């Protein structure tokens, strides 16, 4: 029999997949309800994961693979609360569905935390980083949808702006954590460099609006390509961390 932790994750993934399918079948309202249920199940999973070792370890809640689909779905929930009539953004339900499916394949246990990881700064870092990734992915997806549908919604741009702000906050909280733990705010290594890649790419995006020759379609394409940049910079480490020794789950 499936334990409550796995049950919640499966339920969240099924809700996300159902939301994507319902939206594809032009039933965005039902899809929105399904996303809402998914957020609840995903949230329940994350809270349980904090206690997975028999003692509360917040690092279990903020692991990107499980937190990013939660934030992606929560963004859709917030967008719906702001404008209930226009659910065109619901095409982005594909994102939590895909990330939720990947989370199902991922080890549920936590990497035993070293003393240097047991700080509020690491929790803030992973939370803001995942929220930033979720905004940037969703903005990128809506940009792609804008190219396909040829609509003139600017929603994607706001999401990219807030994604950039959150990702910048993550760099600051991460820098504070690195300073307290290792005495420097930047370390020469793949993790820090790949974060800087994402930051520079979206900093370049922010300048596009002021460049002649970059019409709307080109800007949308650049924003959509950002999804590949984030995936290219983060997916490898997620795969590598699957091999790390874990506890619980």
Partner 1 sequence: MKRFLDIIGDLRIAFWLLLSAALVMWIGSIICLNNYSLIDSLNGSRIQEWLPAHLRQHPGATWWIPLLFLVFFLLGINTMACTARRILNLIPAGRGMSAKGFLVALSPSIIHLLFMLMLSGHLLGFAMVEFEKVPVRQGEEAVLKNVGTVRVASVTHQFFPRDSLLRGRVRQSRMILEFPRQGVPETAVLEFLRPVYRGGYIIQLDMERKKRTETPRIADPETCNRETHFNFSGPKNAGSPRLYLAVTRDPGLFVLFPGFIAVILIMGWYFYQVTLGSGRNAR
Site for partner 1 in 54-93 (CB under 8 A): 54-55, 57
Contacts of 181 (CB under 8 A, 6+ apart): 116, 117, 119
218 binds partner 1 (CB under 8 A): no
235 binds partner 1 (CB under 8 A): no
244 binds partner 1 (CB under 8 A): yes
Q: Give CA–CA dist 110/99, Å, rounded.
A: 18
Q: Give CA–CA dist 52/117, Å, rounded.
A: 17
Sign of CA dihedral 219, 65, 94, 41: negative
- Comparing CB distances to partner 1, the nearer of 104 and 118 is 118
- CA proximity to 8, closest of 63, 46, 34: 46
- Shortest Cβ distance from residue 104 to partner 1 (Å)? 22
Q: Give CA–CA dist 36/203, Å, rounded.
A: 32
Among 194, 216, 231, 238, binds partner 1 (CB under 8 A): 194
- CA proximity to 108, closest of 23, 180, 51, 186: 51
1 binds partner 1 (CB under 8 A): no
Among 4, 25, 47, 232, binds partner 1 (CB under 8 A): 232
Task: Please report, as ranges, the residues that interact with partner 1 according to CB under 8 A.
Answer: 52-55, 57, 111-116, 118-119, 158, 161-162, 164-165, 168-169, 172, 175-176, 179-191, 193-194, 196-197, 200-201, 203-204, 207-208, 210-211, 229, 232-233, 236, 240-241, 243-248
């Amino acid at each position: 029999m499936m334990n409550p932790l796995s049950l919640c994750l499966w339920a969240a993934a099924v809700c996300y997949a159902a939301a994507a399918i319902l939206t594809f079948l032009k039933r965005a309202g039902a899809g929105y309800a399904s996303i809402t249920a998914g957020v609840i199940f995903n949230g329940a999973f994350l809270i349980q994961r904090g206690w997975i070792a028999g003692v509360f370890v917040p690092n279990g809640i903020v692991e990107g693979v499980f937190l990013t689909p939660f934030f992606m779905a929560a963004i859709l929930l917030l967008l719906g609360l702001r404008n209930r009539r226009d659910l065109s953004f619901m095409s982005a339900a594909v994102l939590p569905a895909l990330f939720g499916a990947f989370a199902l394949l991922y080890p549920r246990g936590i990497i035993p935390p070293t003393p240097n990881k047991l700080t509020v700064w690491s929790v803030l870092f992973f939370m803001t980083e995942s929220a930033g990734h979720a905004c940037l992915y969703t903005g990128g997806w809506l940009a792609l949808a804008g190219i396909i549908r040829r609509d003139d919604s600017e929603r994607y741009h706001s999401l990219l702006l807030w994604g950039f702000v959150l990702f910048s906050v993550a760099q600051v909280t991460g820098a504070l954590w690195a300073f307290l733990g290792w005495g420097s705010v930047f370390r020469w290594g793949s993790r820090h460099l790949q974060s800087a890649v994402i930051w520079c790419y979206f900093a370049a995006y922010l300048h596009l609006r002021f460049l002649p020759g970059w019409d709307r379609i080109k800007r949308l394409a650049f924003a959509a390509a950002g999804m590949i940049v984030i995936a290219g910079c983060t997916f490898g480490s997620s795969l590598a961390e699957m091999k790390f020794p874990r506890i619980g789950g």
